[in-house]
Chain A
Amino acid sequence: MEYRQAKNSKLMIEILPDKCDFCGCCVGVCPEDAIELKEAEIFIIDERCTNCSKCIWSCPIEVIVFNKEGVVAK
Protein backbone atom coordinates (compact mmCIF):
# COMPACT_ATOMS: atom_id res chain seq x y z
CA MET A 1 0.00 0.00 0.00
CA GLU A 2 1.38 3.42 -0.90
CA TYR A 3 0.63 6.27 1.49
CA ARG A 4 0.60 10.00 0.88
CA GLN A 5 3.53 11.69 2.57
CA ALA A 6 3.01 14.78 4.77
CA LYS A 7 5.81 17.07 6.00
CA ASN A 8 7.28 14.70 8.60
CA SER A 9 5.24 11.51 8.42
CA LYS A 10 2.39 9.84 6.60
CA LEU A 11 -0.49 12.17 5.74
CA MET A 12 -3.35 11.51 8.15
CA ILE A 13 -5.71 14.30 7.19
CA GLU A 14 -8.39 13.59 4.64
CA ILE A 15 -10.83 16.08 3.13
CA LEU A 16 -14.01 14.52 1.76
CA PRO A 17 -14.42 16.67 -1.34
CA ASP A 18 -17.94 15.47 -2.16
CA LYS A 19 -19.22 16.88 1.13
CA CYS A 20 -17.19 20.11 1.13
CA ASP A 21 -18.91 23.50 0.84
CA PHE A 22 -15.65 25.27 -0.18
CA CYS A 23 -16.10 27.86 2.59
CA GLY A 24 -12.42 28.46 3.39
CA CYS A 25 -12.68 28.12 7.17
CA CYS A 26 -10.02 25.38 7.25
CA VAL A 27 -7.75 27.37 4.93
CA GLY A 28 -7.91 30.39 7.26
CA VAL A 29 -6.69 28.42 10.28
CA CYS A 30 -4.05 26.26 8.56
CA PRO A 31 -0.69 27.47 9.92
CA GLU A 32 1.21 25.89 7.00
CA ASP A 33 -0.78 27.22 4.04
CA ALA A 34 -1.27 23.55 3.20
CA ILE A 35 -4.79 23.69 1.73
CA GLU A 36 -5.55 24.66 -1.84
CA LEU A 37 -9.10 25.87 -2.44
CA LYS A 38 -10.38 26.79 -5.88
CA GLU A 39 -13.97 27.63 -6.83
CA ALA A 40 -15.20 24.09 -6.24
CA GLU A 41 -12.06 22.05 -5.71
CA ILE A 42 -10.12 21.45 -2.51
CA PHE A 43 -7.01 19.45 -1.65
CA ILE A 44 -4.16 19.23 0.83
CA ILE A 45 -0.66 20.13 -0.31
CA ASP A 46 0.90 17.01 1.24
CA GLU A 47 4.49 18.18 1.72
CA ARG A 48 3.36 21.21 3.78
CA CYS A 49 0.91 19.45 6.10
CA THR A 50 2.02 18.66 9.68
CA ASN A 51 -1.12 16.68 10.62
CA CYS A 52 -1.85 19.31 13.32
CA SER A 53 -5.64 18.77 12.96
CA LYS A 54 -6.60 22.44 13.30
CA CYS A 55 -8.47 22.24 10.00
CA ILE A 56 -10.53 19.32 11.35
CA TRP A 57 -11.61 21.24 14.45
CA SER A 58 -12.65 24.26 12.43
CA CYS A 59 -14.63 22.61 9.67
CA PRO A 60 -18.22 23.63 10.50
CA ILE A 61 -19.76 20.65 8.71
CA GLU A 62 -17.40 17.78 9.58
CA VAL A 63 -15.90 17.29 6.15
CA ILE A 64 -12.30 16.67 7.27
CA VAL A 65 -11.39 13.43 9.01
CA PHE A 66 -8.33 12.11 10.82
CA ASN A 67 -7.14 8.81 9.42
CA LYS A 68 -4.46 7.43 11.72
CA GLU A 69 -3.64 4.60 9.33
CA GLY A 70 -2.53 7.22 6.81
CA VAL A 71 -4.19 8.37 3.62
CA VAL A 72 -3.64 5.96 0.76
CA ALA A 73 -2.24 7.42 -2.45
CA LYS A 74 -4.56 6.93 -5.40
Chain B
Amino acid sequence: MKEEYDIIVVGAGPAGSMAARFASEKGVSVLMLEKDRDVGYPVRCGEAISKAGVEEFIEPDERWITAHITKFSFIAPDNTEVTLQFDTEQEGYVLERRIFDYELAKTAVKEGAQILTRAYVNGLLFDDDKVAGVKYEHNGEQKELKAKIVIAADGVESRVGRWAGLTTHIDFRDMECCTQITAAEIPVAQDTLYFYFGKDIAPEGYFWVFPKGDNIANIGLGVSGMIGKKSSAISFLNNFMEKHYPGASVLTTIAGGVPSAITLDKISAPGIALVGDAARQVNPLSGGGIASGMIGASIAGTIAGDAIKMNKLDHLLTYDNAWRARLGKRHEIFNRIKEGIFNFSDEKFNNIAHSINKIPFEKRTLGRVFRTALLNQPSLLIDVAKVFIV
Protein backbone atom coordinates (compact mmCIF):
# COMPACT_ATOMS: atom_id res chain seq x y z
CA MET B 1 0.00 0.00 0.00
CA LYS B 2 1.01 3.55 -0.68
CA GLU B 3 1.10 6.49 1.73
CA GLU B 4 -1.31 8.39 -0.48
CA TYR B 5 -3.44 7.69 -3.58
CA ASP B 6 -4.69 9.76 -6.46
CA ILE B 7 -8.13 8.16 -6.07
CA ILE B 8 -9.76 6.17 -3.28
CA VAL B 9 -12.94 4.27 -4.17
CA VAL B 10 -15.22 3.32 -1.25
CA GLY B 11 -17.05 0.04 -1.95
CA ALA B 12 -16.17 -2.80 -4.30
CA GLY B 13 -19.56 -3.56 -5.86
CA PRO B 14 -20.03 -3.32 -9.64
CA ALA B 15 -19.98 0.48 -9.52
CA GLY B 16 -16.86 0.68 -7.34
CA SER B 17 -14.96 -1.76 -9.54
CA MET B 18 -15.86 0.09 -12.74
CA ALA B 19 -14.94 3.47 -11.26
CA ALA B 20 -11.59 2.01 -10.19
CA ARG B 21 -10.98 0.39 -13.55
CA PHE B 22 -11.77 3.41 -15.73
CA ALA B 23 -9.73 5.70 -13.49
CA SER B 24 -6.78 3.26 -13.48
CA GLU B 25 -6.86 3.15 -17.27
CA LYS B 26 -5.77 6.79 -17.15
CA GLY B 27 -2.60 5.78 -15.35
CA VAL B 28 -3.41 7.19 -11.90
CA SER B 29 -3.05 5.35 -8.58
CA VAL B 30 -6.32 3.86 -7.28
CA LEU B 31 -7.23 2.02 -4.06
CA MET B 32 -10.61 0.39 -3.39
CA LEU B 33 -11.70 0.00 0.23
CA GLU B 34 -14.38 -2.63 0.94
CA LYS B 35 -15.85 -3.21 4.39
CA ASP B 36 -16.83 -6.85 3.83
CA ARG B 37 -14.28 -9.62 3.94
CA ASP B 38 -15.21 -10.79 0.43
CA VAL B 39 -15.75 -8.88 -2.78
CA GLY B 40 -19.13 -9.91 -4.23
CA TYR B 41 -20.57 -11.47 -1.09
CA PRO B 42 -23.20 -11.37 0.38
CA VAL B 43 -25.27 -11.06 -2.80
CA ARG B 44 -28.35 -8.87 -2.39
CA CYS B 45 -29.72 -9.04 -5.91
CA GLY B 46 -32.17 -10.76 -8.28
CA GLU B 47 -29.16 -10.96 -10.65
CA ALA B 48 -31.02 -10.19 -13.88
CA ILE B 49 -29.31 -7.99 -16.44
CA SER B 50 -29.57 -7.29 -20.16
CA LYS B 51 -26.95 -8.66 -22.50
CA ALA B 52 -26.08 -5.12 -23.60
CA GLY B 53 -25.60 -4.08 -19.97
CA VAL B 54 -22.96 -6.79 -19.55
CA GLU B 55 -21.25 -6.50 -22.90
CA GLU B 56 -20.39 -2.85 -22.51
CA PHE B 57 -18.04 -3.86 -19.69
CA ILE B 58 -17.04 -7.50 -19.80
CA GLU B 59 -17.03 -10.43 -22.21
CA PRO B 60 -19.94 -12.77 -21.26
CA ASP B 61 -18.60 -15.90 -19.57
CA GLU B 62 -20.57 -19.05 -18.73
CA ARG B 63 -18.82 -19.24 -15.36
CA TRP B 64 -21.05 -16.44 -14.09
CA ILE B 65 -24.10 -16.83 -16.30
CA THR B 66 -26.70 -19.14 -14.75
CA ALA B 67 -29.53 -18.60 -17.23
CA HIS B 68 -30.03 -17.15 -20.72
CA ILE B 69 -33.23 -15.13 -20.83
CA THR B 70 -35.35 -14.80 -23.95
CA LYS B 71 -38.82 -14.27 -22.45
CA PHE B 72 -40.63 -12.06 -19.95
CA SER B 73 -43.77 -13.24 -18.26
CA PHE B 74 -46.13 -10.87 -16.45
CA ILE B 75 -48.70 -12.32 -14.09
CA ALA B 76 -51.71 -10.12 -13.36
CA PRO B 77 -53.54 -10.21 -10.02
CA ASP B 78 -56.20 -12.55 -11.47
CA ASN B 79 -53.38 -14.93 -12.57
CA THR B 80 -53.65 -14.05 -16.26
CA GLU B 81 -50.17 -14.64 -17.63
CA VAL B 82 -48.77 -12.57 -20.49
CA THR B 83 -45.58 -13.82 -22.10
CA LEU B 84 -43.31 -11.80 -24.37
CA GLN B 85 -40.48 -13.08 -26.50
CA PHE B 86 -37.49 -10.80 -26.98
CA ASP B 87 -35.59 -9.86 -30.06
CA THR B 88 -32.05 -11.19 -29.85
CA GLU B 89 -30.56 -7.84 -28.93
CA GLN B 90 -32.91 -7.51 -25.95
CA GLU B 91 -31.92 -10.86 -24.47
CA GLY B 92 -30.60 -11.05 -20.96
CA TYR B 93 -28.92 -13.14 -18.31
CA VAL B 94 -29.38 -14.20 -14.76
CA LEU B 95 -25.93 -13.90 -13.22
CA GLU B 96 -24.03 -15.57 -10.43
CA ARG B 97 -23.08 -12.24 -8.91
CA ARG B 98 -20.79 -13.77 -6.38
CA ILE B 99 -18.47 -14.61 -9.28
CA PHE B 100 -19.47 -11.71 -11.54
CA ASP B 101 -18.60 -9.00 -8.98
CA TYR B 102 -15.30 -10.73 -8.32
CA GLU B 103 -14.47 -10.78 -12.03
CA LEU B 104 -15.35 -7.10 -12.33
CA ALA B 105 -12.98 -6.30 -9.45
CA LYS B 106 -10.29 -8.32 -11.24
CA THR B 107 -10.64 -6.13 -14.34
CA ALA B 108 -9.91 -3.10 -12.13
CA VAL B 109 -6.88 -4.80 -10.60
CA LYS B 110 -5.64 -5.70 -14.06
CA GLU B 111 -5.55 -1.98 -14.88
CA GLY B 112 -3.47 -1.37 -11.77
CA ALA B 113 -6.04 -0.67 -9.02
CA GLN B 114 -5.46 -2.10 -5.53
CA ILE B 115 -8.11 -3.51 -3.17
CA LEU B 116 -8.21 -3.67 0.61
CA THR B 117 -11.06 -5.69 2.14
CA ARG B 118 -12.32 -5.48 5.73
CA ALA B 119 -11.68 -1.76 5.51
CA TYR B 120 -14.66 0.12 6.91
CA VAL B 121 -14.70 3.79 5.88
CA ASN B 122 -16.18 5.91 8.68
CA GLY B 123 -15.25 9.49 7.84
CA LEU B 124 -13.63 11.85 5.37
CA LEU B 125 -10.55 14.06 5.48
CA PHE B 126 -10.87 17.63 4.26
CA ASP B 127 -8.49 20.22 2.93
CA ASP B 128 -10.43 23.46 3.47
CA ASP B 129 -13.78 22.46 1.96
CA LYS B 130 -12.39 19.93 -0.46
CA VAL B 131 -12.55 16.20 0.29
CA ALA B 132 -8.95 15.05 0.67
CA GLY B 133 -9.08 11.42 1.81
CA VAL B 134 -10.81 8.96 4.12
CA LYS B 135 -10.81 7.71 7.69
CA TYR B 136 -11.23 3.98 8.00
CA GLU B 137 -11.10 1.05 10.38
CA HIS B 138 -9.04 -1.98 9.46
CA ASN B 139 -8.31 -4.93 11.73
CA GLY B 140 -9.57 -2.97 14.71
CA GLU B 141 -7.29 0.00 14.04
CA GLN B 142 -8.48 3.47 13.09
CA LYS B 143 -6.47 4.90 10.16
CA GLU B 144 -6.38 7.78 7.69
CA LEU B 145 -5.41 7.86 4.05
CA LYS B 146 -5.09 10.88 1.78
CA ALA B 147 -6.38 11.03 -1.80
CA LYS B 148 -6.91 13.75 -4.37
CA ILE B 149 -10.36 12.36 -5.19
CA VAL B 150 -12.72 10.03 -3.31
CA ILE B 151 -15.31 8.08 -5.28
CA ALA B 152 -18.21 6.93 -3.10
CA ALA B 153 -19.57 3.61 -4.36
CA ASP B 154 -20.95 2.59 -0.98
CA GLY B 155 -24.28 1.32 -2.26
CA VAL B 156 -27.76 1.83 -0.86
CA GLU B 157 -26.48 3.24 2.44
CA SER B 158 -24.72 6.16 0.75
CA ARG B 159 -23.21 7.67 3.87
CA VAL B 160 -19.90 8.82 2.40
CA GLY B 161 -21.63 11.48 0.29
CA ARG B 162 -23.42 12.81 3.38
CA TRP B 163 -20.14 13.37 5.14
CA ALA B 164 -19.18 15.59 2.19
CA GLY B 165 -22.34 17.63 2.70
CA LEU B 166 -24.49 16.11 -0.07
CA THR B 167 -28.07 15.06 0.64
CA THR B 168 -28.10 11.37 -0.11
CA HIS B 169 -30.77 9.85 2.13
CA ILE B 170 -33.78 8.67 0.21
CA ASP B 171 -37.45 9.25 0.96
CA PHE B 172 -38.74 6.04 2.55
CA ARG B 173 -41.57 6.01 -0.01
CA ASP B 174 -38.99 5.67 -2.80
CA MET B 175 -37.08 2.86 -1.14
CA GLU B 176 -38.09 -0.52 -2.50
CA CYS B 177 -37.67 -2.68 0.57
CA CYS B 178 -36.82 -6.15 -0.62
CA THR B 179 -36.42 -9.65 0.58
CA GLN B 180 -35.49 -12.63 -1.52
CA ILE B 181 -34.85 -16.32 -1.18
CA THR B 182 -32.89 -18.57 -3.49
CA ALA B 183 -34.71 -21.89 -3.56
CA ALA B 184 -34.22 -25.31 -5.14
CA GLU B 185 -36.70 -27.38 -7.15
CA ILE B 186 -38.72 -24.45 -8.46
CA PRO B 187 -40.11 -25.81 -11.74
CA VAL B 188 -40.30 -22.71 -13.95
CA ALA B 189 -39.06 -22.13 -17.52
CA GLN B 190 -35.32 -21.54 -17.31
CA ASP B 191 -35.37 -18.91 -20.08
CA THR B 192 -38.07 -16.66 -18.61
CA LEU B 193 -38.17 -13.87 -16.04
CA TYR B 194 -41.48 -13.88 -14.14
CA PHE B 195 -43.01 -10.69 -12.72
CA TYR B 196 -46.11 -10.70 -10.51
CA PHE B 197 -48.21 -7.61 -9.83
CA GLY B 198 -51.06 -6.80 -7.50
CA LYS B 199 -52.13 -5.27 -4.22
CA ASP B 200 -51.98 -8.57 -2.35
CA ILE B 201 -48.72 -9.66 -3.94
CA ALA B 202 -46.40 -6.66 -3.93
CA PRO B 203 -48.19 -3.30 -3.69
CA GLU B 204 -46.16 -0.38 -5.06
CA GLY B 205 -43.57 -2.78 -6.33
CA TYR B 206 -43.44 -6.21 -7.90
CA PHE B 207 -42.67 -9.79 -7.14
CA TRP B 208 -40.10 -11.71 -9.18
CA VAL B 209 -39.12 -15.29 -9.91
CA PHE B 210 -35.83 -15.41 -11.82
CA PRO B 211 -34.46 -18.82 -12.86
CA LYS B 212 -30.83 -19.72 -12.17
CA GLY B 213 -30.62 -23.02 -14.04
CA ASP B 214 -31.26 -26.51 -12.61
CA ASN B 215 -34.64 -25.32 -11.31
CA ILE B 216 -32.99 -23.04 -8.79
CA ALA B 217 -34.61 -19.60 -8.64
CA ASN B 218 -34.31 -16.20 -7.01
CA ILE B 219 -37.75 -15.46 -5.58
CA GLY B 220 -38.33 -12.09 -4.04
CA LEU B 221 -40.12 -8.78 -3.98
CA GLY B 222 -39.81 -5.14 -3.25
CA VAL B 223 -42.45 -2.93 -1.69
CA SER B 224 -42.28 0.79 -1.02
CA GLY B 225 -41.43 1.90 2.52
CA MET B 226 -44.93 3.41 2.50
CA ILE B 227 -46.36 -0.10 2.38
CA GLY B 228 -43.87 -1.16 5.04
CA LYS B 229 -45.74 1.04 7.50
CA LYS B 230 -48.39 -1.67 7.54
CA SER B 231 -46.83 -4.88 6.24
CA SER B 232 -43.22 -5.72 5.65
CA ALA B 233 -41.68 -7.35 2.58
CA ILE B 234 -41.08 -10.59 4.47
CA SER B 235 -44.81 -11.01 5.20
CA PHE B 236 -45.57 -10.80 1.46
CA LEU B 237 -42.80 -13.28 0.69
CA ASN B 238 -44.12 -15.77 3.22
CA ASN B 239 -47.64 -15.49 1.76
CA PHE B 240 -46.37 -16.04 -1.77
CA MET B 241 -44.29 -19.08 -0.87
CA GLU B 242 -47.15 -20.59 1.08
CA LYS B 243 -49.41 -20.20 -1.93
CA HIS B 244 -47.05 -21.12 -4.77
CA TYR B 245 -44.20 -23.23 -3.41
CA PRO B 246 -45.04 -24.55 0.06
CA GLY B 247 -42.21 -26.53 1.59
CA ALA B 248 -39.61 -25.27 -0.92
CA SER B 249 -35.98 -25.82 0.08
CA VAL B 250 -34.47 -22.43 0.74
CA LEU B 251 -30.75 -22.10 0.01
CA THR B 252 -30.34 -18.43 0.95
CA THR B 253 -32.45 -15.61 2.37
CA ILE B 254 -31.48 -11.97 2.08
CA ALA B 255 -32.87 -8.50 2.70
CA GLY B 256 -31.99 -5.43 0.66
CA GLY B 257 -33.01 -1.98 -0.43
CA VAL B 258 -33.34 -0.59 -3.94
CA PRO B 259 -33.36 3.21 -4.12
CA SER B 260 -36.04 3.56 -6.82
CA ALA B 261 -35.87 7.26 -7.46
CA ILE B 262 -34.26 9.76 -9.75
CA THR B 263 -30.56 10.46 -9.38
CA LEU B 264 -29.51 12.76 -6.53
CA ASP B 265 -29.52 16.48 -7.32
CA LYS B 266 -25.76 16.60 -6.92
CA ILE B 267 -23.46 13.65 -7.43
CA SER B 268 -20.16 15.49 -7.25
CA ALA B 269 -18.57 18.11 -5.02
CA PRO B 270 -14.96 19.28 -4.69
CA GLY B 271 -12.83 16.14 -4.34
CA ILE B 272 -15.69 13.64 -4.39
CA ALA B 273 -18.04 11.86 -6.83
CA LEU B 274 -20.86 9.40 -6.09
CA VAL B 275 -21.58 6.38 -8.29
CA GLY B 276 -24.03 3.47 -8.52
CA ASP B 277 -26.69 3.01 -5.82
CA ALA B 278 -24.91 5.61 -3.70
CA ALA B 279 -25.73 8.23 -6.38
CA ARG B 280 -29.22 6.68 -6.81
CA GLN B 281 -28.42 5.62 -10.39
CA VAL B 282 -30.82 2.67 -10.36
CA ASN B 283 -33.39 2.46 -13.17
CA PRO B 284 -36.39 3.49 -11.05
CA LEU B 285 -38.89 1.59 -13.19
CA SER B 286 -37.25 -1.85 -13.16
CA GLY B 287 -35.15 -1.47 -10.02
CA GLY B 288 -32.17 -2.73 -12.03
CA GLY B 289 -28.99 -1.04 -10.90
CA ILE B 290 -26.08 -3.24 -11.98
CA ALA B 291 -25.77 -1.94 -15.55
CA SER B 292 -26.73 1.67 -14.87
CA GLY B 293 -24.39 1.79 -11.87
CA MET B 294 -21.52 0.52 -13.99
CA ILE B 295 -22.30 3.15 -16.62
CA GLY B 296 -22.34 5.96 -14.06
CA ALA B 297 -19.15 4.68 -12.48
CA SER B 298 -17.33 4.37 -15.80
CA ILE B 299 -18.16 8.01 -16.54
CA ALA B 300 -17.04 9.15 -13.08
CA GLY B 301 -13.87 7.02 -13.17
CA THR B 302 -12.85 8.39 -16.54
CA ILE B 303 -13.51 12.00 -15.54
CA ALA B 304 -11.69 11.56 -12.21
CA GLY B 305 -8.67 10.02 -13.96
CA ASP B 306 -8.61 12.87 -16.48
CA ALA B 307 -8.97 15.49 -13.74
CA ILE B 308 -5.84 14.18 -12.05
CA LYS B 309 -3.87 13.80 -15.27
CA MET B 310 -4.75 17.38 -16.26
CA ASN B 311 -4.08 18.55 -12.71
CA LYS B 312 -7.45 20.24 -12.86
CA LEU B 313 -9.56 18.81 -10.05
CA ASP B 314 -12.55 21.04 -10.91
CA HIS B 315 -13.01 18.89 -13.99
CA LEU B 316 -14.65 16.32 -11.68
CA LEU B 317 -17.71 18.56 -11.45
CA THR B 318 -18.51 17.92 -15.13
CA TYR B 319 -19.62 14.43 -14.09
CA ASP B 320 -23.14 15.54 -13.08
CA ASN B 321 -24.00 16.71 -16.59
CA ALA B 322 -22.26 13.82 -18.31
CA TRP B 323 -24.37 11.34 -16.30
CA ARG B 324 -27.54 13.30 -16.87
CA ALA B 325 -26.97 13.25 -20.62
CA ARG B 326 -26.25 9.52 -20.71
CA LEU B 327 -29.00 8.16 -18.42
CA GLY B 328 -30.04 10.58 -15.67
CA LYS B 329 -32.62 12.35 -17.79
CA ARG B 330 -34.06 9.08 -19.00
CA HIS B 331 -34.42 7.87 -15.40
CA GLU B 332 -36.60 10.89 -14.64
CA ILE B 333 -39.08 9.68 -17.24
CA PHE B 334 -38.87 6.09 -16.02
CA ASN B 335 -39.62 7.38 -12.56
CA ARG B 336 -42.80 9.10 -13.73
CA ILE B 337 -43.91 5.90 -15.45
CA LYS B 338 -43.20 4.01 -12.23
CA GLU B 339 -45.38 6.40 -10.29
CA GLY B 340 -48.18 5.89 -12.84
CA ILE B 341 -47.94 2.12 -12.53
CA PHE B 342 -47.88 2.29 -8.72
CA ASN B 343 -51.36 3.77 -8.91
CA PHE B 344 -52.80 1.01 -11.11
CA SER B 345 -55.65 -0.89 -9.52
CA ASP B 346 -55.69 -4.69 -9.68
CA GLU B 347 -58.55 -4.35 -12.14
CA LYS B 348 -56.42 -2.22 -14.45
CA PHE B 349 -53.56 -4.76 -14.38
CA ASN B 350 -56.06 -7.50 -15.22
CA ASN B 351 -57.59 -5.51 -18.08
CA ILE B 352 -54.18 -4.77 -19.57
CA ALA B 353 -53.20 -8.44 -19.37
CA HIS B 354 -56.44 -9.50 -21.07
CA SER B 355 -55.97 -6.95 -23.88
CA ILE B 356 -52.37 -7.98 -24.50
CA ASN B 357 -53.27 -11.65 -24.61
CA LYS B 358 -55.56 -10.88 -27.54
CA ILE B 359 -52.47 -10.01 -29.59
CA PRO B 360 -51.13 -13.23 -31.14
CA PHE B 361 -47.92 -14.35 -29.35
CA GLU B 362 -45.67 -13.91 -32.39
CA LYS B 363 -46.92 -10.34 -32.90
CA ARG B 364 -46.42 -9.34 -29.27
CA THR B 365 -43.58 -6.91 -29.74
CA LEU B 366 -42.60 -4.63 -26.90
CA GLY B 367 -43.92 -1.61 -28.80
CA ARG B 368 -47.30 -3.22 -29.39
CA VAL B 369 -47.60 -4.30 -25.79
CA PHE B 370 -46.81 -0.78 -24.67
CA ARG B 371 -49.47 0.64 -26.96
CA THR B 372 -52.03 -1.79 -25.59
CA ALA B 373 -51.10 -0.96 -22.03
CA LEU B 374 -51.37 2.72 -22.85
CA LEU B 375 -54.89 2.44 -24.20
CA ASN B 376 -55.72 1.52 -20.63
CA GLN B 377 -53.78 4.45 -19.17
CA PRO B 378 -53.57 7.27 -21.74
CA SER B 379 -51.95 9.72 -19.33
CA LEU B 380 -48.79 7.63 -19.41
CA LEU B 381 -48.54 8.08 -23.16
CA ILE B 382 -46.63 11.32 -23.04
CA ASP B 383 -44.03 9.93 -20.68
CA VAL B 384 -43.57 6.78 -22.66
CA ALA B 385 -43.26 8.75 -25.88
CA LYS B 386 -40.47 10.73 -24.23
CA VAL B 387 -38.56 7.55 -23.41
CA PHE B 388 -38.27 6.86 -27.11
CA ILE B 389 -37.69 10.43 -28.22
CA VAL B 390 -35.17 11.57 -25.58
Asked if chains A and B come from one complex, the reply is yes
Q: What is the predominant secondary structure among interface residues of chain A facing chain B?
A: loop
Q: Is B229 in contact with chain A by the CB < 8 A criterion?
A: yes
The smallest beta-carbon distance between B123 and chain A, in angstroms, is 12
Decide: B226 and A60 in contact? CB cutoff 8 A: no
Q: How many residues of B contact A (CB 8 A)?
A: 36
B255 adjacent to A21 (CB under 8 Å): yes
Complex contacts, A62 vs chain B, CB 8 Å: 232, 234-235
Across-interface contacts of A57 in B (CB, < 8 A): 172, 225-226, 228-229
Query: Which residues of chain B (178-210) have a CB below 8 Å from chain A?
Result: 178-179
- Chain A: residues with Cβ within 8 Å of the partner, total of 22
Q: Is the Cβ of B156 less than 8 Å from the Cβ of A25?
A: yes
Please report the C-alpha to C-alpha distance between residue A25 and residue B37 in the assembled complex, in whole angstroms.
Answer: 20
Report how far A25 CA is from B211 CA in the complex, Å.
Answer: 25
Q: Which of B122, B155, B169, B178 interacts with A30 by CB under 8 Å?
A: B169
- Taking CB atoms, residues of chain B closer than 8 Å to A31 are 169
- Check A28/B170 contact, CB under 8 A, given A33-B159, A60-B232, A60-B233: yes
List chain A positions with a Cβ less than 8 A from chain B.
21, 23-25, 27-31, 33, 36-39, 54, 56-62
List residues of B whose CB falls within 8 A of some A CB: 35-37, 44, 118, 120, 122, 137, 155-159, 162, 169-172, 175, 177-179, 225-226, 228-229, 232-235, 253-257, 259
Starting from the known contacts A28-B259, A33-B159, 18 additional A-B residue pairs (CB-CB under 8 Å) come to A21-B255, A23-B156, A23-B254, A23-B256, A24-B257, A25-B256, A25-B257, A28-B158, A28-B169, A28-B257, A33-B162, A56-B228, A57-B226, A58-B257, A60-B179, A60-B232, A60-B233, A60-B257
